[in-house]
Chains A and B, each alone.
Chain A
Amino acid sequence: MSQIELINIKKNYMGTEVVKGIDVTINEGEFAVIVGPSGCGKSTLLRMIAGLEDISSGELKIGGKLMNNVSPDQREIAMVFQSYALYPHMTVAENIGFALALKKTDKAEINRRVLEAAKMLELEHLLERKPAALSGGQRQRVAIGRAIVKRPKVILFDEPLSNLDAKLRVQMRTELMRLHREFGSTIVYVTHDQVEAMTMAQKIIVLNNGHVAQMGKPMDLYRDPENTFVAQFIGVPKMNLLRGNLQADVFTLQSGQKLQLDCGYSDGVNLQLGVRPEHLKLELLAQGSGSENNSEHSWTVDVVERLGVESFIHLCNAARDVLVLRLEGDCDLQVDSKVAVRFDCSHCYLFNDAGVRLLPNSAAMHLAG
């Protein structure tokens, strides 16, 4: 059993609360990703699971056993550090085999398992080198090798890919997922990169300022964000938010543009309408139709980002609302030209002033019932 349970976990550093009460269960064999902006407490949380930081209050259970006061060397957890922390005086082989050597495993067995791990990570030709003579990516792989060689039930990763170039990062991502499939260990993986979270996780835990903003399956977070923080954190480019008021299912932007929402929300003022760039459609305004320039429906093209496969159009309107819109392939829009935007109402989200998601009455009633 290697389920990890965090029950109201808190961490204080000399009076300042950094982790503010976290309740999470990570199931056995699950690939969980903790994601959040820099400084939100990800590393602190992970280090508490590892036993490298005291838990100020709350309970940590691994496999059903209370772990708060168990020292890290007794927890049978492996960890890949944000700084790889390879022992500089040992060769790659000694680094990988260190955990086994400590357990007095016999030499032949150590060699066999080190070689096995090295093969998997394509490190065989580097076994006799010292860490100083390795590239960043190679060090990274040694650090992973050191973690997997003892077949731990739980592996913790602290931003392991943040120092690699984009190409290697993609490669290591698939590599890690493959390792997870093969070993079936419970993995807790910390990152600030939502792409890593979306692609690798079975469960994402979004952390904001020491709180869990939301957790769930990647696509659930994408489809059903509970607040503006998660809505904007998951998905690139981030979700657009527009302020306005709602009355009788009509959302009025600050510019005066009116959008018909059909799902029966309660009326309210100062709300935020969220819509993802991929759910917006562009409509060219008919040239010279006269009303185009001061129409509340017109948006001005600010920036066009062309990536080949897709293009992102940054727009703004008279009330200084900004929108990002995604187009398939290339486009021939000119900066400063005027366009209209069609909102796909079935993909719009409504949040209150504080950023909490509002549900249509039907759904709310459904939940309440």
Chain B
Amino acid sequence: MVTLVRPANEETIMTHYSSQRRAYLTLVLISLFCLMPFFWVVLAAFDPKASQFLQIPDGITVNHFWNLLANESGVRWVLNSVGIVGTATFLTLILAGFGGYALSRTQAWWKRPLLYAIILVRIVPPPALIVPVYKVMLFLNDWINGVINSLTSDVAQQMLLSRMFSFVDGYLGLILIQTAMQLPLAIWIMKTFFDAIPKDYEEAAALDGASQWQTVRHVLIPLALPGFAAAGLFAFINAWGDFLMPLMFTSSPELQTLPLGMFRAFLRVDAIDYGFLTALAVIYTLPAVIAFAFARKFLTQTFSGGVKG
């Protein structure tokens, strides 16, 4: 037989290319459309005459940022957010480390029920939890304020302590709530991670003379680092983006977090300052990006080759 397979002729190649080009063009248009809001946010944040329309700025200014940080309570909001979310993430990691390890190693009959109960907390929509949680927090709040009042009679000191340790409208309450919200997923991530770390390493460390703490410090934590990075990243980003809990549990302006500040700025009765809002959005986005960049290094780290088989 003579060969029937021939190189495609000029025409078919052309149609092939042009159909591909059309596909790419469509994709580019769609992605431009999706990226538009981001362009707008970044451009407007530096635009002296920012408006609600996407426009090429006449010049570049950092006035919006300056205004936000110096004249408004921007610094305070950022510090509140970083402090609350950072502490909550840290607490989440510690608790999830212990909890995940215990749940991974135990053989007890309640292991499975407990695991599902934990994830159930995550499945319930947060607004459904507001009323009961608020009730509990209010109860605890009365108690802690009683304690504070009995500790000191100096009103200024009482105010300060109450700000720090109140369960409602105080830092402690916000931190605990954020921790509790992020904990279920973090425990699951850590449990899965510890499942993949054979017990042999711990046994080898014990025979090398390592105490329990030394085993944790030199063997378990380094091996679980990618797990901690993943759990920490999720916890940080989720808590950072949370709007509902700060809204419910704070009333004082000094306690406002970034998303609350942004929301209230947007609702002001006078004309909306788009430059201000977009600058706020940029600042709000940055930590999440930084957290991701930081975690990425550990996320990709994998360990293998320690045990055979």
Contact = CB atoms under 8 A, between A and B. Distances in A.
Nearest to A72: B206
A77 interface: yes
B7 interface: no
A131 interface: yes
Interface stretch (B86-94, B96-104, B216-224): B216-224
A260 B303 CA distance: 66
Interface stretch (B143-151, B207-215, B242-250, B277-285): B207-215
B204 A85 contact: yes
Contacts of B211: 73
Contact of A98 (B208, B304, B306): B208
A103 B218 CA distance: 13
B308 interface: yes
Contacts of A50: 203, 207
Contacts of A81: 200, 203-204, 307
A89 interface: yes
B161 to A, nearest CB: 42
Contacts of A52: 203, 206-207
A16 to B, nearest CB: 15
A134 B305 contact: yes
Contact of A132 (B205, B304, B309): B304
B40 interface: no
Nearest to B207: A79
Contacts of B304: 88, 132
A99 B208 contact: yes
Interface in B123-174: none
A367 interface: no
A51 interface: yes
Interface residues of B, number: 24
A258 interface: no
B219 A87 contact: yes
Given A81-B203, A83-B308, A84-B306, A99 B198 contact: no
Interface centre among A50, A88, A99, A102 (most CB of B within 10 A): A88
B266 interface: no
Contacts of B198: 83, 85
B207 A73 contact: yes
B306 A103 contact: no
B30 to A, nearest CB: 42
B114 to A, nearest CB: 21
Contacts of A84: 306-308
- State which size class the interface on A falls in: 20 to 34
A108 B214 CA distance: 22
Interface string B289-309: 000000000000001111111
Given A81-B203, A85-B200, A88-B303, A102 B208 contact: yes
Nearest to A140: B308
Interface centre among A77, A81, A163 (most CB of B within 10 A): A81
Contacts of B201: 85, 87
Contacts of B218: 98, 102
A83 B200 contact: yes
Contact of A73 (B210, B307, B309): B210
Given A81-B204, A87-B219, A73 B306 contact: no
B139 to A, nearest CB: 43
Contacts of A146: 204, 208
B206 A73 contact: yes
A89 B222 contact: yes
Nearest to B305: A132
A332 B200 CA distance: 52
A76 B308 CA distance: 25
Give the 4 A-B CB pairs with smallest separation, nearest first: A132-B305, A88-B306, A85-B200, A83-B307
Given A72-B203, A76-B209, A85-B200, 14 more contacts: A50-B203, A73-B209, A73-B210, A75-B207, A78-B208, A83-B200, A85-B204, A88-B306, A89-B222, A98-B208, A99-B208, A146-B204, A146-B208, A163-B309
17 contacts: A50-B203, A72-B207, A73-B207, A81-B307, A84-B307, A85-B198, A85-B203, A86-B204, A86-B305, A87-B306, A99-B208, A102-B218, A130-B305, A131-B306, A133-B305, A134-B305, A139-B308
